[in-house]
Chains A and B, each alone.
Chain A
Amino acid sequence: DGGITQSPKYLFRKEGQNVTLSCEQNLNHDAMYWYRQDPGQGLRLIYYSQIVNDFQKGDIAEGYSVSREKKESFPLTVTSAQKNPTAFYLCASSNQQVTSYNEQFFGPGTRLTVL
């Protein structure tokens, strides 16, 4: 059963704690993305990775960090420096070919709440 998995579905964090959200894909996609979604808002790009061991900041990278040690995995760490981390976090992946037009496939999301 191919796709993108995110875990956990719900996550609670105390202020001042770092927390890591998991994202795994078995679609053999080169590119992976992390988005943040706030209520009634669109998706905002946090980080993306086009290839293993490489990643770039998106529009709202401050307070977040990522790693891409394996093609299938792109974990996101929400650090204590993120001022307002409560949100719905979405991971996505896509094929990455210069001449193609690639939809992004999304995972089910992780809802993070800071207590």
Chain B
Amino acid sequence: GESVGLHLPTLSVQEGDNSIINCAYSNSASDYFIWYKQESGKGPQFIIDIRSNMDKRQGQRVTVLLNKTVKHLSLQIAATQPGDSAVYFCAEKTGGYSTLTFGKGTMLLVSP
């Protein structure tokens, strides 16, 4: 079946830098996308979501961009902090009652 994938398995940044985590999706019918953060040994936590009728959504220090033309999703984290170190997953939903399909994740490492 179609799946969500990520370009970079590991991203290392310095504290204070901006981070960009990318995600490619292949199902053009997907109408909802979510970014999750997972710290070691814990369950994923919701960060931000975006519907397919939008191309940008901002939260606190985070921005999600959606480019439906190239089926690309990105998560931007401003002024990255050591506490942002975690694995980040994107997930897509194809509408209705359908379930989420998760990507494999990107590890973000923030050094002080």
Residues of A participating in the B interface, judged by any CB pair closer than 8 Å: 4, 31, 33, 35, 40-45, 48, 50, 58-59, 90, 92, 96, 98, 101, 103-109, 111
Q: Are A50 and B97 in contact (CB under 8 A)?
A: yes
B102 interface residue per 8 A CB criterion: yes
Contact partner, A109, options B4, B43, B100, B105, Cβ 8 Å: B43
Contact partner, B44, options A40, A43, A44, A48, Cβ 8 Å: A43
Cα A44 to Cα B32 with chains together (Å): 18
Contact partner, A98, options B9, B51, B96, Cβ 8 Å: B96
Contact partner, A48, options B99, B104, B105, Cβ 8 Å: B99
Determine the residue in chain A with the shortest Cβ distance to B9.
A40
Cα A31 to Cα B96 with chains together (Å): 13
Cα A38 to Cα B43 with chains together (Å): 13
Contact partner, A96, options B32, B43, B44, B97, Cβ 8 Å: B97
Q: Are A90 and B49 in contact (CB under 8 A)?
A: no
Q: Are B100 and A104 in contact (CB under 8 A)?
A: yes
Contact partner, A42, options B49, B51, B103, Cβ 8 Å: B103
Q: Are B44 and A90 in contact (CB under 8 A)?
A: yes
Cα A55 to Cα B100 with chains together (Å): 16
| 8 pairs, CB–CB < 8 Å, chain A vs chain B | A41-B104, A43-B102, A50-B97, A58-B99, A103-B34, A104-B100, A106-B43, A107-B43
* B60-105 with Cβ < 8 A to chain A: 89, 93, 96-97, 99-100, 102-105
Cα A40 to Cα B106 with chains together (Å): 9
Q: Are A103 and B99 in contact (CB under 8 A)?
A: no
* B25-67 with Cβ < 8 A to chain A: 31-32, 34, 36, 41-46, 49, 51
| A31 cross-chain contacts in B, Cβ below 8 A | 97
